Amino acid sequence: MHIGLSINGSRHELEVEPRRTLADALREDVGLTGTHLGCEHGVCGACTVLVDGTPVRACLMLAVQADGTSVTTVEGLAPEGGALHPLQQAFTEHHGLQCGFCTPGMLLTALDLLHREPRPCRERIREELSGNICRCTGYLGIVDAVEAAAVEMAGETSCRDA
């Protein structure tokens, strides 16, 4: 089937089998391997991307369902050769990653939260990231990083839950 979609701001036309997942299309057809595959059953969150601004499990969504949408992957967070996104910078500064396998999904889930709630408190950050599994960090550094990025992006030190 023929589909057309925007990925990280660039238009892509793809020919895909009806059963091809969005994750496989992104990784294998477009070469964006920053979208990681862990469980491939919608459990771990490693494959999370934004579709029209909403986080989705790319291992559960079919590529044909993304026809006409705008997809953001981790590669879209920072321009090639440019500065890191504030969330990426905060993850590096606050030990928000070790092996990095969960990181793309964590970043996009956190980005969605900060778009909706610019200065969430730590409990909200924990709640929102609870569907993303990390084997390495113990989560503390991830929560620290998202909190630091929120301060940086919102310019407010006081948190405020929605």
Length of the chain (residues) = 162
C-alpha angle 14/72/110, rounded to 5°? 150
* Sheet with strand 54-57: strands edge to edge: 10-15, 2-7, 70-72, 48-51, 54-57
Q: Which of 8, 12, 33, 37 binds ligand FES (CB under 6 A)?
A: 37
Stretch that binds ligand FES, among 76-84, 99-107, 118-126, 151-159 (CB under 6 A): 99-107
Q: Give the shortest CB-38-to-ligand FES separation in angstroms.
A: 4
Cβ 28 vs Cβ 43: under 8 Å:
no
1 binds ligand FES (CB under 6 A): no
- Using the minimum distance from each CB to ligand FES, give the nearer residue, 36 or 119: 36
148 binds ligand FES (CB under 6 A): no
The C-alpha atoms of residue 15 and residue 92 are separated, in whole angstroms, by 37
The C-alpha atoms of residue 145 and residue 100 are separated, in whole angstroms, by 14
- Using the minimum distance from each CB to ligand FES, give the nearer residue, 128 or 159: 128
Site string for ligand FES, 50-89 (x = CB under 6 A): -------x-x------------------------------
Stretch that binds ligand FES, among 3-11, 65-73, 80-88, 100-108 (CB under 6 A): 100-108
46 binds ligand FES (CB under 6 A): yes
HSE-up of 62 (CA within 13 Å, CB side)?
11
91 binds ligand FES (CB under 6 A): no
Question: Does an H or E element contain 89, and which?
Answer: helix 86-93
Q: Return phi, psi of residue 7, to 5°.
A: -125, 115
Q: Give the shortest CB-137-to-ligand FES separation in angstroms.
A: 5
Binding site for ligand FES (CB under 6 A): 37-40, 42-47, 57, 59, 97-102, 134-137
